[in-house]
Amino acid sequence: MATPAVPPAPAPPAPERKTPEEKRNLEGASRLALGGWFGLLAGLVTIGIPLLVLEIGVYFPSSFLSLDSGLLQISGTLVLVGSILYILCLFFYRRGFSNLRKISPVFGSATMLCNIGSVGFILLLVAAAVLEGTATSVFGCVHGSPSHALSCLQSGQPLGAYTALVGFAFAWVGGIGIVVGLSLAAGHFGRGSMGLGAIIYLVFLIVLLIPLVEFAIQVPGIQYILILLPILAIAAPVLVLVGARASARAVRAAG
């Protein structure tokens, strides 16, 4: 009696390959998450710690922190390191928007604005190098009148002051690019946290302009308004990070 033939074992299913669109979505979300990480670090180092310390020293001189030239030099170093972190933050945001632009061209405007912002932060690095060593004279000028900081810088080191002003303007434009790109990404991925992060970034940019507005008009309670800056600088990238990581997980699960 013939032995019945044993059917061959079925071949294992081929692993599902992601479509080009899914790959770009995954890369875009992952890079936005990296931008959120670097944005959080930059916010802490550049704005959170230095601004809180300087505000306490300037507006509450009887507190345990006193403003002196050494404190200004430390704050300047933190701003220098933070500017490098912000360059990396903008780089990854821009790469994320660039990936998503291959799916939807509307992300092109955000990419272009982020490029301008990167130039701004490079100019801020140059300004920090030019202004190095002038902390003592600036301290004597600015102490008790923080709204005159730009005038003090102009009198002490005009090149550094104007470079910093142009760098700030370009960096601010880059911030608008982040707001535009994150707003589009929130709709693209369907993540409300990214949209909320974009709104907080926009409020942060508006608050950043208040010290410049005070040159023209008196802003009452400016010290209390500026205390919002560290909160906004930290909250925005945290929300972006949460939304971008959730989007990356969703794309992986779908594939």
Q: Kindly state whether residue 3 falls inside one of the protein's structural domains.
A: no
pLDDT for the residue 106: 93
Query: Does 51 fall in a domain?
Result: yes
DSSP at 149:
H
pLDDT of residue 43: 86
158 pLDDT higher than 70:
no
Least confident of 138-142, 184-188, 250-254: 138-142
Contacts of 153 (CB under 8 A, 6+ apart): 131, 134, 138, 160, 161, 164
**Residue 8: inside a domain, yes or no?**
no
pLDDT at 47: 75
Lowest mean pLDDT among 118-132, 176-190, 225-239: 118-132
Q: Residue 100's pLDDT is what?
A: 93
Q: Give the pLDDT mean for 5-27.
A: 69
With H, G, I as helix, E, B as strand and everything else as coil, classify residue 12: coil
Q: What proportion of the chain, given as a percentage, has pLDDT over 90?
A: 40
Q: What is the extent of the structural domain holding 141? A: 20-254
Residue 14 inside a domain? The answer is no
Residue 11 lies in a domain: no
pLDDT digit string, tens, across residues 202-240? 999 998 888 777 655 666 666 667 778 888 889 999 999
Give the model's pLDDT for residue 57.
Answer: 58
Q: Which two structure tokens, joined as six digits, stand for 24?
A: 């770009």
* Per-residue pLDDT at 15 exceeds 70: no
Query: Could you tell me if residue 155 is inside a domain?
Result: yes
Whether residue 172 has pLDDT greater than 80 = yes
| Residue 80 confidence (pLDDT) | 78
With a cut of 60, say whether residue 162 has pLDDT above it.
Answer: yes
Q: Is 9 helix (H, G, I), strand (E, B) or coil?
A: coil
Looking at the 3D structure of the chain, how many domains does it have?
1
Q: What is the pLDDT of residues 69-95, one digit of tens each?
A: 555 666 667 777 888 898 899 999 999
Closest CA to 185 of 253, 104, 89, 86: 104
Q: What pLDDT, on the 0 to 100 scale, is given for residue 231?
A: 87
What is the pLDDT, as a whole number, of residue 127? 78
Structure token pair of residue 240: 């972006």
pLDDT category of residue 133 using cuts at 50, 70 and 90: low
Q: Cα separations (Å) of 237 from 63, 78, 87, 192?
A: 31, 19, 14, 14
3-state secondary structure string, the chain? Answer: CCCCCCCCCCCCCCCCCCCHHHHHHHHHHHHHHHHHHHHHHHHHHHHHHHHHHHHHHHHCCCCCCCCCHHHHHHHHHHHHHHHHHHHHHHHHHHHHHHHHHCCCHHHHHHHHHHHHHHHHHHHHHHHHHHHCCCHHHHHHHHCCCHHHHHHHHHHHCHHHHHHHHHHHHHHHHHHHHHHHHHHHHHHHHCCHHHHHHHHHHHHHHHHHCHHHHCCCCCCCCHHHHHCHHHHHHHHHHHHHHHHHHHHHHHHHHHC
**165 found inside a domain:** yes
Average of pLDDT values for 59-63?
A: 54
Token pair of 78 as six digits:
């933190």
pLDDT of residue 121 exceeding 90: no
The pLDDT confidence band at residue 144, using thresholds 50, 70 and 90, is: very low
Q: What is the pLDDT of residue 83?
A: 80
pLDDT score recorded for residue 2 = 53
- The whole-angstrom separation of Cα 102 and Cα 125 is 32
Q: Does some domain include residue 104?
A: yes
Residue, of 149 and 189, whose pLDDT is higher: 189
Whole-number pLDDT of residue 31: 95
Asked whether the beta carbons of 66 and 144 are under 8 A apart, the reply is no
